Structure 1
């Protein structure tokens, strides 16, 4: 990202800063922008969320609109006043709800440019009221950035047409903060979980919800564990399905080898203790969890959805399997566990790729060019 051009006032708008891939991307991007001499700030439509203090501690303002359910004109007025505090601000919104509220709030403010990033594969119901409002907001939107090429193509099909361009800008992560998985960390994680020495750990990170489809992963792991008893499954993340998934694990016959760690702030360290990373999602955009697994040098098994193939090249840094197919997922996992040399080779290729291509600095440079009016 440029450090010689004039600095920019950048206003990010999100729903909140709870733990998640979108929120992690916004925080990392804002901090990279501040380090480059720009003046980023973040507004949350609702409450600030668990990660807000991470930004505040680094001198980045976090403002909460405290929006209530339904139409809340008071929240729009509060957002308008906040956006207008710095003339010439570039407004960068994240996902549809934050975007059309920001478009409404931008009237009468000295906003210089308005960009939106869509962080998934698009709405399950493209004819919903929220998506209608989002498409209507395109007349005042300069650029929409999808996070992968697969998502960009889908948005084009759904009629998302900003004034300048619809393009793909891949997410980036702070790759320099991730160390490769190693024997010492694996031994430490086994010790914390009370596992026998030599236990191979299959790990996953993500919210416990239907889209991530940890149910299929649990079914696959039961088959893996039946053939390889020296294995354990670790799920990092929390969500509405936790009790249901715990019950499913208990009924699978492999429940004693399944560990639910909940919402954690030490994901980087946990990744270093895994042997294999699994992502069983039914839908993904450009998965931050997969980027982090690559940066940690882990061989990956991921489902063939969304932008996963843009991160995981089949049989180069991982394996791609059909979604919702427990048999295929189990077969791929067993294949990597039975061939550790191959697994290590895939992990090394993934880490090398992440260090070259997946940095937050590369992402920030792409966005800065768009903020300054580049066509992409």
Structure 2
């Protein structure tokens, strides 16, 4: 098939990682795939460039940009697009507008989160207006699908769930050797217990809550360090938070990294403190690394982390509860190891890229009824 993925950009993030991995898999299967970016190409576009997969930018300006729409339309037409797969609301209604009257066989939209705007705004109004030309709206978890239907964002008859998947080939579990490498990187003693988290430094991930929880952990376990992988607008605010909590010397901000898999293999425990979440790619990768996980019970997290089976779930915005769960697993190493092994087994069965690509393949052929 001739497939066009339409995104805002390919900068670093969970949505973008999922799109790139899916595009690579579809390319491997023999489909003709391109990515059209509404704004800039983004920092990760080079991964597709290396495979000869076209990544184009429309360079949209603020407001209604007829030139960008024309560029998008030209790219869709020159690719002889049969399947238009858009990602999130803005990219969707812009792509639908650009493709009006082109007769594209199948238009699929994936909503990658829970939808941060609780009150319907302009974006959701425009998204709903574009649903007449949309064949399927995909949520990445059942919680997100239910929420979208309940809020009137998408009709139940057009919605389905396709959980995110990750590349598992070559994804090794945590090891002493990688732990030692990470302790050298952050310059802490070899025996330091490392609590790690991966994600954009923004309000949704609530790393401030994690830092406050870590203060409690550090008081009980002075042999611990907190590693935050990712960057974002709250970097300096979070540095100040660590200083205010008295843990600035043992919280390490590693920024955006290309070696996240290797870093995960050096953690002792993975913590996710989000206040809202769709279907977390970071959680899937933590499962693949066989890490014990403590995550907040929001969005699709409970569809990945089953409490006391593949990890621990705690309420959001509750640093003491988060700290207590982390301390429990640090103190009970056998239990933590059991949870990590169960998480790895779960992701091998349920969280692979191939499983996700197969479900999207069904949708591309219009087989909505067989997709959950």
- Both structures adopt the same fold (TM-score exceeding 0.5): yes
| Structure 1 segment 1-376 matched on structure 2, within 5 A | 8-161=1-154, 165-375=158-368, 376=371
Distance 1:15 1:154, change over 3 A: same
User: What SS class does the counterpart of residue 106 from structure 2 fall into?
Assistant: strand
Q: Which moved more, 1:211-220 or 1:245-254?
A: 245-254
**Secondary structure at 1:84 match in 2:** helix
| In structure 1, C-alpha distance between the alignment counterparts of 2:96 and 2:53, rounded to whole Å | 23
Does the 8 Å contact 1:88/1:110 carry over to 2?
no
Unaligned runs of 5+ in 2: none
Pairwise CA distance, 1:124: 1.4
Offset of 1:88 from its aligned partner? 4.9
- Residue 110 (structure 1) shift: 3.8
Relative to structure 1, is the Cα distance of residues 81 and 333 closer, same or farther in structure 2, using a 3 angstrom cutoff?
same
How far did residue 71 of structure 1 move? 1.0
Query: How many angstroms does 1:85 deviate by?
Result: 1.4
Contact 2:309 2:339 in 1 (8 A): yes
Deviation at 1:188, TM superposition (A): 1.1
Give 1:107 shift.
1.2
> What is the CA–CA distance in structure 2 between the aligned matches of 1:184 and 1:123, rounded to whole Å?
40
Distance across 2 between alignment mates of 1:49 and 1:214 = 25
> Displacement of 1:162 after TM fit?
5.6
Native 8 Å contact 1:237 1:263 kept in 2: yes
1:297 and 1:348 in contact (8 A); partners too? yes
Q: How many residues align?
A: 369
* Structure 1 consecutive aligned stretches of length 4 or more whose deviation exceeds 6 Å: none
Distance 2:98 2:119 in 1: 23
Q: Does the residue aligned with 2:34 lie in a helix, a strand or coil? A: strand
2: CA distance, partners of 1:247 / 1:159: 40
SS at match of 1:218: helix
The CA distance in 2 between the partners of 1:196 and 1:255, in whole Å, is 17
Structure 1: unaligned runs, 5 residues or longer: 1-7
Task: Give the aligned CA root-mean-square deviation in angstroms.
Answer: 1.1
C-alpha separation between the residues in 1 aligned to 2:243 and 2:106? Answer: 52
In structure 2, C-alpha distance between the alignment counterparts of 1:206 and 1:86, rounded to whole Å: 34
1:150–1:306 CA contact under 8 A, matched in 2: yes
Deviation of the 1:178 alpha carbon = 1.4
Secondary structure of residue in 1 paired with 2:203: coil
The Cα offsets for residues 146-196 of structure 1, whole Å up to 9 and x where unpaired, read as: 000000001101223369620111000001231100111101111111111
Q: For the residues of structure 2 that align with 1:350 and 1:168, how far apart are their CA atoms? A: 21
C-alpha contact (below 8 Å) 2:149/2:155 kept by paired residues: no
Q: Would the aligned equivalents of 1:84 and 1:111 in 2 still touch at CA under 8 Å? A: no
**CA deviation profile, 1:258-282 (whole Å, cap 9, x unmatched):** 1000011110000000000000000
Cα deviation 1:41-94 (Å, max 9, x = unaligned): 100000000000101111111010000111111111110111111335200000
Distance 1:372 1:236, change over 3 A: same
Q: Aligned equivalents of 2:69 and 2:79: distance in 1? A: 17
**Distance (Å, rounded) in 2 between the aligned partners of 1:223 and 1:88:** 54
User: Is the 8 Å Cα contact of residues 83 and 89 (structure 1) preserved in structure 2?
Assistant: no
1:68 is paired with a residue whose SS is coil
